[in-house]
Amino acid sequence: MPEITVNGHRIDAGGDKHVIDVLREQGIDVPALCYHPALSPAGECKLCAVEATYPDKPAQIKLACVLKPAEGLEIRTDTEQVTRARTTAFRNLAKFAPESSVIRGLAEKHGINMGAPPDECIRCRLCVRACKELVGANALKIEKRNTIRYIVPRSGNRCIGCGTCASICPTGAIRQEDSNGLRVIYIRDEIIGQNPLLQCESCGRYFATPKFLSRIEERTEDHPHVKEHHRYCPTCAKLLSDRIKSASRMKKI
């Protein structure tokens, strides 16, 4: 039965085990995504890096999932070299799945800095320009955070919930979610704006925010209003308009 040293403590590593099993039995939480005790180890994710030192040999970074205990082996799980190796492994995995909450959550749990999370934003400023020049809400701006530029909401809840920014975004970095009578617009996990939705007077479907309809009224106040004031969704408005036109034609006949 080999005796090994783990972070300065001597322990018996009995049985046909791998170092990762021994460490976990000692309550040491070693990250791993490709390892399962019922399967032969593959060493693919490389998250379980540890510093291994054999007698009379220099320390090396090894993968705990494929490493077997040997007499006199010394294992350390808390060195700078281990942190560097795990950071590299986490970031390499993130290249395959950049938005994986599992990878980023596991990295955070083990104190690994993954850097700024990906947000799909290419900083084209289409959303900023459209919100200012077309909508007139001016709810977005560019802000530098830790040397990186981000599209962020302006203070004061200027968003009117029109969804133009989400529609014009070429990469889908901005998303709009309508649920239970509320429209929330996000970039990354940051809220640009949240506004209540009005229901269509005809079908009852939620279709627009009060701020958006007020903005339309402001923009068209110089034009004569020849139609009756209503709160119809676009679909019902068209259907009712078509019926009125049809009825008008029938009267002429």
pLDDT value, residue 54:
95
What the block records as the tokens of 113 is 């800095």
The structure tokens 């040997």 sit at 70
Q: Find the helix packing angle between 80-96 and 101-109, rounded to 10°.
A: 170
Q: pTM above 0.85?
A: no
CA angle 229, 234, 239 (to 5 degrees): 90
Which amino acid belongs to residue 164?
T
* Opening angle at CA 236, ends 232 and 240, nearest 5: 100
Contact 52, 69 (CB under 8 A): no
* Alpha-carbon gap, residue 6 to 64, rounded angstroms: 12
In the block, which residue shows the tokens 């709009």? 176
Q: Which two tokens stand for residue 219?
A: 């923009």
Look at residue 251 in the predicted model and tell me its pLDDT.
52
Q: Identify the three-state secondary structure at position 21.
A: helix
CA 210, 211, 213 angle in degrees (round to 5)? Answer: 65
Q: How many helices (H) and strands (E) does the chain have?
A: 7, 12
Whether 215 contacts 137, CB under 8 Å: yes
Q: Tens place of pLDDT for every residue, the chain, 253 residues?
A: 789 999 999 998 877 899 999 999 999 999 999 999 889 999 999 999 999 999 999 999 999 999 999 999 999 999 999 999 999 999 999 988 887 889 999 999 999 988 777 778 989 999 999 999 999 999 999 999 878 899 999 999 899 999 999 999 999 999 999 999 999 999 988 999 999 999 998 898 998 999 999 988 887 777 665 455 678 888 888 887 666 555 555 555 5
Which domains, from first to last, does the chain contain? 3-109 (3.10.20.740), 119-253 (no CATH)
What is the predicted pLDDT for the residue at 250?
52
